[in-house]
């Protein structure tokens, strides 16, 4: 399985909201942070680029989990970019509210 496939799987499993344990993607965020911290420099850069791309996604779950991961990693500029993109959406309040939830969760999981 490629690194990209492994990372995509961490976004999908477990399903966000599928259980009380993963209501807001807590397990996905934790797993993504653990994965990132276990990679060598080259692979961590590849993963970071993927997470940045997902943070700009129109998919709410992918973008807010990504913002949480970026926040936990201290990537403030990337978080700000995702927020700026979200502000241009017709449903910007929904995205921005979820970003705040994700950042709160990330504060708990920051390694």
What CA–CA distance (Å, rounded) separates 87 from 81? Answer: 10
SS3 state at 12: helix
Contact 7, 49 (CB under 8 A): no
What CA–CA distance (Å, rounded) separates 78 from 30? Answer: 19
| Alpha carbon distances (Å) from 63 to 1, 34, 78 | 23, 18, 12
Q: Please report the pLDDT score of residue 61 as a whole number.
A: 94
Q: Please report the pLDDT score of residue 109 as a whole number.
A: 74
Per-residue pLDDT of the chain (111 residues; tens, 9 = 90+): 899 999 999 999 988 887 788 888 999 999 999 999 999 999 999 999 999 999 999 999 999 999 999 999 999 999 999 999 999 999 999 999 999 999 999 998 765
24: number of Cβ within 10 Å: 18
Contact 55, 49 (CB under 8 A): no
pTM of the model: 0.94
């Amino acid at each position: 399985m490629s690194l990209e496939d492994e990372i995509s799987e961490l976004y999908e499993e477990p399903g966000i909201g599928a259980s009380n344990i993963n209501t807001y993607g807590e397990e996905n965020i934790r797993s993504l942070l653990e994965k990132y911290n276990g990679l060598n420099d080259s692979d961590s850069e590849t993963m970071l680029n993927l997470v940045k791309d997902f943070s700009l996604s129109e998919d709410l779950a992918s973008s807010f989990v990504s913002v949480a991961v970026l926040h936990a990693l201290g990537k403030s500029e990337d978080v700000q970019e995702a927020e700026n993109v979200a502000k241009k959406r017709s449903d910007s309040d929904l995205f921005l509210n979820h970003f705040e939830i994700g950042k709160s969760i990330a504060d708990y999981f920051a390694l």
